[in-house]
Amino acid sequence: MTAKRWTALAIVVVLLAGAGVFAYIKWDRGISISQIMRNGVAAERAGDFNTAKHDFYQVIANNPSNSLHLTTYALYNLGVIYTSLSDLPIAIGYYDQSIKTDDQYLPALFNVAAVETPTNPAAALIAYDDILKIKPNDTYTLFNVGLLNDDLGNTKLAKKQVAQAVKQDPSLRARIPTSFGAP
């Protein structure tokens, strides 16, 4: 793990620790954790990130067993919020925490790959590899990792991955950059 990711992870742990105390004090025990999660998602969709974060912190603090994977989802949604706010190191930290609670949670793996691609392609490749271990023939993962491998100079592998993706979904041919050439 890079120093940047350790720093982001440390920040997330501090935020969660502080939020956990706050959430525990504020939790209305008459509302289920599932309802708090639904409220957080509704607030997130409405763009009320402060309310959404508060609700997700409550879920995390009060669901240590990760019942119904709600902690996984809350951590993931915090990553989405921080991605929306362009605070990518914090977002990656939340996605990583989500993956730690469920290493098969594809949305978090996809988002790590997407966020890391521009600045940390090696980390993106690791995330794409993890996705392909779970879904070996995922069309869009093959396409994206193929383009990334091309950027990194792994041309032969890139061509194979993009060709496989285009075979599975011919409409992807239109998204191949001209610099890539034919798969």
pLDDT in tens, 126-162: 999 999 999 999 999 999 999 999 999 999 999 999 9
Q: What is the pLDDT of residue 96?
A: 97
* Domain contains 21: yes
Residue 148, in any domain of the structure: no
More confident site: 167 or 25: 167
What token pair was written down for 108?
């978090």
> Per the structure, how many domains does the chain have?
1
The tens digit of pLDDT for each residue in 90-123 reads: 999 999 999 999 999 999 999 999 999 999 999 9
Among residues 78, 89, 161, the alpha carbon closest in space to that of 119 is found at: 89
* pLDDT tens-digit readout, 63-86: 989 989 999 999 999 999 999 999
Measured CA to CA, the distance from residue 32 to residue 45 in angstroms comes to 20
Residue 4's pLDDT is 56
| Residue 94 burial (C-beta neighbours within 10 Å; 0-12, 13-18, 19+) | buried
Quote the domain boundaries for residue 33: 3-102
Tell whether 43 is covered by a domain. yes
Q: With respect to residue 13, please indicate whether it lies within any of the assigned structural domains.
A: yes
Whether residue 166 lies inside any domain: the answer is no
